[in-house]
Amino acid sequence: MGGGEDDPLAGRNAITLDAIRDRVVISLPPGTGLRAYLDDVCLSMGFRPRIGFEAGDPHMVAQLAGRGLGVALLPESVTRAHAAHLHAITLTRPRLRGRIALAWRAEAPASPAARAFIGHARAQLSRAGVPRRQETS
């Protein structure tokens, strides 16, 4: 979660999702994984998020929240990138987890660009401590 430095939640380091029940939320649009999760979890808690603004770019969502227009559910990497204007707040309950899957054809040779991308993705995930799964054919 993230909010502007003047946001009432800015003095807190951690909240539950219930803390945003009556707050304006800035979000990615419907059809994105994070938005679907936000909608589903809020509904399971008996409320709908009050979406005030939507943007297709998480960095734009962060900028809007940093300007005090609401709170935003964002990946930690995005809140870190906007730390100068956005106060990061850990969401303790429910705990959010995401999954990224990469797939490519094992039987066909990869282009130089694809090989570079796969190598870069593996390096970044390794640095982040994500265990590497065995490749399947």
pLDDT at site 97: 67
**How is the chain split into domains, by residue range?**
2-93, 100-132
> Of 30-44, 95-109, 123-137, which one has max mean pLDDT?
30-44
pLDDT (mean) for 99-128: 82
Q: Before 94, cis peptide (omega within 30)?
A: yes
Lowest mean pLDDT among 9-13, 60-64, 75-79: 9-13
Q: What is the CATH number of domain 2-93?
A: 3.40.190.10
Using DSSP, state whether 48 is helix, strand or coil.
coil
Query: Any idea of the CA torsion for 83, 28, 43, 20, to the nearest 10 degrees?
Result: 30
Residue 135 has pLDDT above 70, yes or no: no
Residue 137 has pLDDT above 60, yes or no: no
2-15, pLDDT tens digit by residue?
Answer: 888 888 888 888 88
Average pLDDT of the chain to the nearest whole number: 86
Q: In what order do the strands lie in the sheet with 50-54?
A: 50-54, 24-27, 71-72, 2-4, 86-88
Residue 136 has pLDDT above 60, yes or no: no
